[in-house]
Amino acid sequence: MSKIKEWEENEEIKYFREYLRIPSVHPNINYESCIEFLKRQASDLNLPLKIYYPVNSENPVVVITWIGTQPDLPAVVLNSHMDVVPVFEENWKHPPFGADMDEEGRIFARGAQDMKCVGMQYLSAIRALKKEGKTFKRTIHLTFVADEELGGGRGMKPFVLTDDFKNLNVGFSLDEGIAAPGEVYPVFYAERSIWRIFFKIRGTTGHGSLLHKNTAGEKLQYIVNKMMGLRAEQVLHLEKNTNLKVGDVTTVNLTRLQGGVQTNVVPALLVVGFDVRLAINVDHVVFEKQLLQWCEEAGGNITIEYETKRPYVEPTKTDDSNSYWVAFKSAIDELGLKIELEVFPGGTDSRYIRQVGIPALGFSPMNHTPVLLHDNDEFLKAETYLRGVEIYKTIIPKLANV
């Protein structure tokens, strides 16, 4: 049998491709097809499934549970999200929800890397472990959540605050990472704090032919210079230290500019917005005081509003004090994998898990794979997918027997 035929006939690849074909794509997602698919998976595994709605009936959290032999112990969560980002179909060589496989075994679909792969690899590993008759001390909850790609505000963020989540008795969570182009797998133990900042700058208005004092434009220039100067400092810091990743520094990007009524009228109000991701070593109080000081230095009459202002969240410990980390690392060493600890550059549901005091790691077993999350022609090779299943078959028992 040819390799491509072997992959096409593989039961787990079939499940993966079926899941990818469900267009759970923003905006206005209907998750019913995902729920029906997961119900069939749970039935096949002879495991109970529950659905929770932390915000509304349009945004479910699906939980498949494998009860441990010592169910009073804190449980292990294997988390993934069902939603995927929009596609620009005209830029894809394959239908984005076709899950086409080429002669190299590349499976093309939105969600192939981010992150339907991981959710299905969990299920595949659990299926194999159950067939082998394995049992574990700790209960395992496979969670499939909504709304992660829009920030989790209707998914994991409210869910962790509910009694339903507390009743799951979670001790540790494993969630998504990112593909790795080389041999080394990144493992994420922390995330930066996302601040989306708007400076609302007010100044003297009047005719565009005059030189008014204290105009919004002058103040805008000062604020932009300060913020972009901070950006330049971080770029230089990153360039000078090759050991640093982008997640280790504070990123600043000007993303919005608003204001003005016509070109010969000096505006009374200008608004500038920045996307800022604060490095985990930044003191939030000190940083905010700096912003307020710049507003005063610019001439005052500037207010700061936050679209998003995430708090500092304690990183997950990666030493002997964290028994889950010890178990995870033991599995990695047993498999002979090379890993590198990193701060996640974007945002995942792990930040909400950590925020309620539960350790969490981000890991996607996809090396020698180009990073294509949110990109056109997103794909994952069948052999990489199946290798990931084998990796989870070693990791999951270690975590569930802590």
Q: How many CB atoms lie within 10 A of CB 89?
A: 12
Q: In whole angstroms, how far apart are CA 79 and each of 134, 148, 235, 284? A: 21, 11, 33, 29
Amino acid at 365: P
Alpha-helical runs (H) found in 299-381: 323-335, 350-355
Eight-class DSSP state of 366: -
- The residue type of 154 is R
* Rounded CA separation 13/123 (Å): 12
- Which residues are marked as active site? 83, 148
Give whole-number Cα distances, 44 to 10, 22, 173, in Å: 16, 19, 24
Which residue has tokens 């020698």? Answer: 368
Asked if 81 and 149 touch (Cβ cutoff 8 Å), the reply is yes
Handedness of CA 148, 153, 157, 162 (dihedral sign): negative
Omega of the bond leading into 115 within 30 degrees of 0 (cis): yes
Tokens standing for residue 244: 């640093």
Half-sphere exposure for 222 (CA within 13 Å, toward CB): 18
- Nearest alpha-carbon partner for 150 in 79, 85, 61, 82: 85
DSSP letter assigned to residue 192: P
Q: Which of 393, 391, 369, 365 is nearest to 379 (CA)?
A: 369
**Which candidate, 136, 36, 19, 168, places its Cα nearest to that of 80?**
19
Of 149, 145, 136, 156, the closest CA to residue 67 belongs to: 136
H or E stretch covering 361:
strand 360-362
By CB atoms closer than 10 A (0-12, 13-18, 19+), residue 336 is exposed
Euclidean distance between CA atoms 230 and 236, whole angstroms: 10
CA 363 from chain centre, in angstroms, equals 11
Please tell me the total number of residues recorded for the chain in this structure: 402
